[in-house]
Every structure is written in C-alpha cells, then in structure tokens.
Amino acid sequence: MADRMKELIAKYILKNSYWGYLFSRIRRQGVPNMPSIMGVGPVSDGTICLYYDPNLVEKTGDDVILKLLEHEGMHIINKHISRFLRMRSNEFKESDTEVKRQSWNIAADCCVNVQCSFPPSVKIDEQDWPAQFPHMWKLPDGKATEWYFHELMKTLKKMEKQMQQMEVEGEGDSEGNEKGNSSQGQDGKGKQSKNKGGKGSPTTKLVCSHDKWGDIEKEVSDLSSLSRKIDQHTMTIIRESVKNFNQQRGRLPAGVEDLIKQALKPPEAPYYQLIRKYVRACRISKFKRSFTRINRKRTYVFALNKENANIPVISPFPGKTRDFTFNVAILIDTSGSMTIEAILEALSGVKNIIENDKHCKIYVIECDAQVQKEYIVKKVKDIEFKIKGRGGTTLLPGLERAKELHTDVVLGFTDGWCDDINSVPRKRLPKKMIWIVPKHGDPKTINKTGPVIRVNTNG
C-alpha cells in the first residue's frame, strides 16, 4: 500500500497539483485499523507524518483519496496541528479534555472542508462517510477555527449533559420494568431509543483521523516547544513545495495561494524577542528563592548532627537562582484615534509573549483618558477582546499603574497622539518602556522614553 500511496502522490504531481509537491516532502506511515482512512499528525521530533490505513486505501477509489489528501493538506497550511498544541499547552486545568479535543477536531474540519469545497460525503470502503460543515452545527461559514472551537465546546457540553440525563432516565425505566409493569417498560424503552437516536442531531464522526494530535501529549512533556518546532517545519515544507511548484509553472487556486501567504507571513513584530533584547539587565539581576541551590552565606554553619552525620544542624537551604521570567505590562491606547487593527495587534502581542514564555506574568492595561480596565493574562483564552474606552488620550495614568505593579517592561501600543510623555519626570515612569506605533502614527511625544517599533497594522 505504500507503493500505491506513493503512486497517487506522483499522480498529483503529474497533474500539476500543488498537493502532490506538498506531500512529497512529508513522511508516510501505514497504520492498520485506524479510526478512519488517513490523517496527518505530529511526531515527537517536531515534524509531520501522514498516517493511513492500508486496508481502507486499497478499497477506496483514487479520486476520493486525492480529495482526502487535499483535505489533509489544508490542515497543514492552516497550521491546525501547532495551533492545537499551543492551545493545549496554555491550559492549566485538565477538565473536559475529551470534549475540547472533539471540539477542536470538528472545528478544524469545518474550516478546511469549506475552504477546499469538500463534498458532503465520500465513499470509503463502499461506505458513506459524512464530512463536517459549519451549517450542521448551525454555525456560519468563514470563521476562524478558534471561533468554531469555542462555539462547539458549548454545544458538545450541552449534548453530553443531555446524554447523561437520558442515561439516568433509562435506569429509572429499567427499574420500573423490574417491578412488573411490562407494557409501560416497553413504551419507556421505545421512547428512550428514540431520544438517543438524536434525529437531526449532528455527528462527531470525522472523515479523517485526528487521533495523533492528542496522542502526542503522552510522548512529549513540553507541548509549547513542540508546537514551535512543528510551526517551523510546516513553514519549511510549504516554502519548498511552493518553490518547486512555481518552477514547474503550476498555478495555485486563489484561496490556497492566500492561505499559503498567511502561513508564511512573519509576525508584525517579535514582541518576546524585543523584551529579551531591551531588558537584558533586568533578566540578569533578578533572583528568586531556590531549594535546589545552597545558600553560600551559610556555608560556615554546616555543622553536622552527631547522630546522623548527613543532616546539618542549620539547613543551608534555600539558596538563590536567577529569575529569567518577566513581569510585563501591555499598555493599550483605547482612545478614539486608535484603529481596531492597531488594538488587535496589541492583543496579538500578548499571545506572542505567552506562546514563547508561559511563565511570564502579563498585566493588560487599557487606557484612554484614564485606566479603563486591567486584568492578568496567564493563557490565551484569558485575553479579553471587548475593549473599554474610545475617548481622549492620556497615557500617564496607565504608565503610573504599570510602575505600581513593579513590571520589568511596558509594551505600549499607541498611535502617538497622546499627552507629552517625554516631559514627564523619569521617576514617575516604569523603568523600561517599548513603544509599538503603527506607520500612520506620530511618536514625537513618546520617542525619548524608550525604543519605538513601527508596525504595519493596515489601519
């Protein structure tokens, strides 16, 4: 079956299809008795593998397999694997793990099936396998995978509660049957069967398997690091496949071309790297207590107990070790002159920092003429997209609040049309400030207090 899969990918290349060039750079592995015919999945070394069931591939037509390869290729271009791993790495509670995995799997399929115009169902081994679409869950097309994920979470939790309630009712019906009311028991059983069938309710069955996305969690402890490796690997194979495809004068469909450009697009600014560059001194001078380090100031009192010579009379622990994490304040100018795109860029900066260092403590401060809102972000879902403000612009209250919080650095997102921060006495301001200003902004009121980074927010 490995030969057949190889022939089908070669057939795609001969048809001058981009997907043949993409999958020629991805390893393939046959896995008998998979839940479905195929699926891409992460490998612990940071690469991607195409897993497939040889028996189902043998019994499925070429046209269907080629369409399924396009489906899997869309998962790769959309970076659904690395996005899933980042989502899992930012979670601290393991509640509803299975529901979350199901929600993400369905959300990812809803996204790619619309993008690649996937048929409502395909025939695999002479059986119809329905595909997932947003309308099946009463959701609109054209939304991001994360949006579908949160909406599906609500729906699947409701379905789970309904199933648990029906099971309880079913147990009650069975107890009634034991008491001898046979006719009532038969009616109750029929009613239960009807409800369990869920006529008209959508199914969570997937046309392709995503099991490997969740299985990798058992093999790798640092999911955040793995997601970064897979992101880099994904960008490499996309870039190489596009290069070879263009050399053969192939033509990408418009939708796929846009997705590839988005996948290869670098962030507007590497915010975490900016912090590391400009706050190096704070990083070296910060210390924290550590029970794995000896306190060298107590080395002269390492007197040992006579009864047990291995235990010191006065413990030399804890010592100190360098604290390489940051307390970061994200100051967002929410005045009326700031565009929505510029504000969203600030929230993407929060996301970038979390993905690079989950130990950072991040304070988000929204400020127009005064501090409108303040909250702490520990994971991506803590980011609040409902902005308060849209009035005048006075950033000094936000900067003073950041100083009160003893932050190591302030990332200030503003268009520069604000009060004159340059004239404020330095002792009233935080010890380090980095300003992120859109290209249409004017930083003349802030440029003397810290580095100014220009970004293109299309606003």
What tokens does 159 get? 């379905």
How are beta strands 121-124 and 433-438 bridged, if at all? Answer: unpaired
pLDDT value of position 124: 92
What topology is assigned to 327-455 in CATH?
Answer: Rossmann fold (3.40.50)
CA distance 107 to 89: 18
pLDDT value of position 408: 86
Residue 259 CB neighbours (<10 A) = 21
pLDDT value of position 113: 94
Max CA distance (Å), the chain: 89
Whether omega before 312 lies within 30 degrees of 0, making that bond cis, reads no
What tokens does 271 get? 């915010």
What tokens does 209 get? 């398997």
Distances (CA, A) of 32 to 36, 50, 56, 246: 10, 13, 9, 36
How are beta strands 327-333 and 319-322 bridged, if at all? Answer: unpaired
Q: What is the DSSP letter of 300?
A: G
74: Cα separation from own chain's centroid: 17
Region of 249 (left: φ > 0; alpha: ψ -120 to 50; beta: rest) is left
CA distance 304 to 311: 6
Closest among 19, 1, 13, 2 to 59, alpha carbons compared: 1
What tokens does 279 get? 């706050």
Tens digit of each residue's pLDDT, the chain (459 residues): 567 888 888 888 877 788 888 999 999 999 999 989 999 999 999 999 999 999 999 999 999 999 999 999 999 999 999 989 888 876 656 677 888 899 999 999 999 999 999 999 999 988 999 999 999 999 999 888 988 998 999 999 888 888 888 877 776 665 555 555 544 444 444 433 333 334 445 777 888 989 889 888 888 888 878 888 898 899 889 888 888 887 765 566 667 777 777 666 666 677 777 777 766 555 555 566 665 566 555 554 555 555 655 555 555 556 666 656 778 999 999 988 888 888 888 888 888 888 777 778 899 999 988 999 999 998 877 888 788 887 888 999 999 999 999 888 899 999 998 999 999 999 999 988 999 998 888 899 999 999 998 887 664
CB 73 within 8 Å of CB 23: yes
Q: Where in the chain is the domain with CATH 3.40.50.410?
A: 327-455
CA distance 298 to 82: 47
How are beta strands 127-130 and 121-124 bridged, if at all? Answer: antiparallel
Which residues contact residue 286 at a Cβ distance below 8 angstroms, ignoring those fewer than 6 apart? 322, 323, 324, 408
Sheet with 27-30, edge to edge strand ranges: 27-30, 48-52, 38-42
pLDDT value of position 221: 80
The dihedral formed by the CA atoms of 301, 305, 310 and 315, expressed in degrees to the nearest 10: -40
Which residues contact residue 408 at a Cβ distance below 8 angstroms, ignoring those fewer than 6 apart? 279, 282, 286, 326, 327, 328, 431, 432
In what helix (H) or strand (E) does residue 48 lie, and over which residues does it extend?
A: strand 48-52
CA distance 392 to 9: 59
Sign, CA dihedral 276-277-279-283, equals positive
Sign, CA dihedral 263-268-270-271, equals negative
Closest among 217, 260, 283, 232 to 78, alpha carbons compared: 260
pLDDT value of position 120: 93
